[in-house]
Amino acid sequence: MNLSRRQFLVLVPATAVAWQYVLAGTPRDAPNYQLADHWWGMLLDITKCIGCGNCVRACQAENDVPDGYFRTWVERYLRTDWNLTTPEVISPDGGKEGFPTAEEVKDGMYFFVPKMCNHCADSPCTQVCPVGATFITPDGVVLIDQTYCLGCAYCVQACPYGCRYIHPTRHVADKCTLCYHRITKGLTTACCENCPTGARQLVDLKNPNDPIHAFLKTHDVHVLKPEMATGAKAFYNGLDGSVR
């Protein structure tokens, strides 16, 4: 516990400059970040999620998400043996404060499903925006231009996953940005940073060394509602057929 040593380290010019660069700047000004070199997505591992709600709280802290609205949330499924397609689902306050204790059931199975914007490559929400206020960036992230959005909520209606909402005080559409302000500076998203079990992994499909490529070869990975043909890039490992 040597505070002066830490202070000294922070003041080492190289570290300080690097951190200043992390705190401010735009991707186009950053020499290291090229829009064309990335294609972002997210891997969500249902077999690892413990429903602690860390991701939901971290997202709220990082992105100033208003109470009662969610850029990410966690659902708890109970799929009984009697009906494999109609599960019982809860998500109290988006799972922000965790879940009530579940008792073992003989004829059913519990599991958690973290949800977020799927950053679809063929996104229905950007398709319907009348003015081009929501769009897919060249690096594959669906963003909202808060200074341009009319707040018509057409995109909210068009999203099959319920990921969008109208911000109660800004009156514009809002949703997950895949922590675009972080990933363009070499950091991971707030939810991935704070997931204690590694159930969420930021994925860059254009990076040949990204572990996702090996993971996809050996795991049973699906996207939500594939019949919607949205080109979803939230990849789920261990996704049960009852998840909607």
Partner 1 sequence: MGGVEGYMYPNEINLYWSVLIVVYPYVTGLVAGAFILASLVRIFNVKEVAPTYRLALLTALAFLIVAPLPLLLHLGHPERCFEMYFTPHDTSAMAMFGYVYIWYLMAVLLFEIWLDFRHDIILTARSSKGLKRAFYVLLSLGSNNTSEHSLAVDERAGWIVTLIGIPSAFLLHGYVGFIFGSIKANPWWSSPLMPVVFIFSAMVSGIALVLLVYMFTTRARHREIDMPCVDTIARYLLYIFIIDFVMEMLDLVHRIYVADESFRSINFMVHTKLYFSQIVLQIYIGTLVPLILLGIVQVTRLSPSLRKAIYALSAALIEIAVVSMRWNVVIGGQLFSKSFLGYTTYKIGLITHEGLFMAVFLTLLPLAFLWVLVKILPPWPELKRGMNRVASVTMP
Partner 2 sequence: MKNFRDSEHLLRFAFLFAMVLALFLIVRHFVVPKSFGEYGHYRGAAIGETAARPIHFAGQSACATCHTDIAATKQAGMHAGVHCEACHGPLAKHAADPASVQPPKLDTAVLCVRCHAASAAKPKNFPQVAAAEHSGGLVCETCHHPHSPAIQSEGAK
> Which span sits near partner 1 by CB under 8 A: 24-32, 45-53, 150-158, 202-210?
150-158
Classified as helix, coil or strand, 69 is: coil
Say if strands 234-237 and 40-45 run parallel, antiparallel, or are unpaired.
Answer: parallel
Which entry of partner 2, partner 1, none binds 235, CB below 5 to 8 A by partner kind? none
Angstrom distance (rounded) from CA 137 to CA 142:
6
The Cα–Cα gap between 144 and 134 comes to 4
Total residues binding partner 2 (CB under 8 A): 66
For partner 1, the binding residue among 40, 111, 165, 236 (CB under 8 A) is 165
Instruction: Give the one entry of partner 1, partner 2, none that residue 115 binds, where binding means its C-beta sits below a cut-off of 5 to 8 angstroms depending on kind.
Output: partner 1
Of residues 34, 15, 4, 13, the one with CA closest to residue 207: 34
**CB closer to partner 2, 206 vs 226:** 206
Q: Within 13 Å, how many C-alpha atoms sit on residue 129's CB side?
A: 22
Q: Across the chain, which distance is largest between two alpha carbons, in Å? A: 64
Which span (8-16, 166-174, 179-187, 206-214) binds partner 1, by CB under 8 A? 166-174
Instruction: In whole angstroms, give the CA distance from residue 141 to residue 36.
Output: 12
Contacts of 160 (CB under 8 A, 6+ apart): 124, 225, 228, 230
Pick from partner 1, partner 2, none: which does 220 bind, CB < 5 to 8 A by kind?
none
Long-range contacts of 19-25 (CB under 8 A, 24+ apart): 21/185, 22/185, 22/186, 22/187, 25/185
Minimum distance of partner 1 from residue 101's CB (angstroms): 19
Helix (H, G, I), strand (E, B) or coil at 168: coil
3 state SS of 217: helix
**Of 39, 73, 112, 161, the one binding partner 2 by CB under 8 A:** 112
Question: Which partner, partner 1, partner 2, none, binds residue 211 by CB below 5 to 8 Å per kind?
Answer: none
Binding residue for partner 1, selected from 157, 213, 214, 226, defined by CB under 8 A: 157
CA distance 202 to 111: 21
Binding site for partner 2 (CB under 8 A): 3, 5-7, 9-10, 15, 19, 22-29, 35, 47-54, 58, 61-63, 76, 98-99, 101-105, 110-112, 132-138, 143, 145, 147-148, 177, 180-182, 184-185, 187-188, 190, 193-198
Binding site for partner 1 (CB under 8 A): 68-70, 73, 75, 85-91, 93-94, 115, 124, 127-133, 148-154, 156-166, 170-172, 228, 244
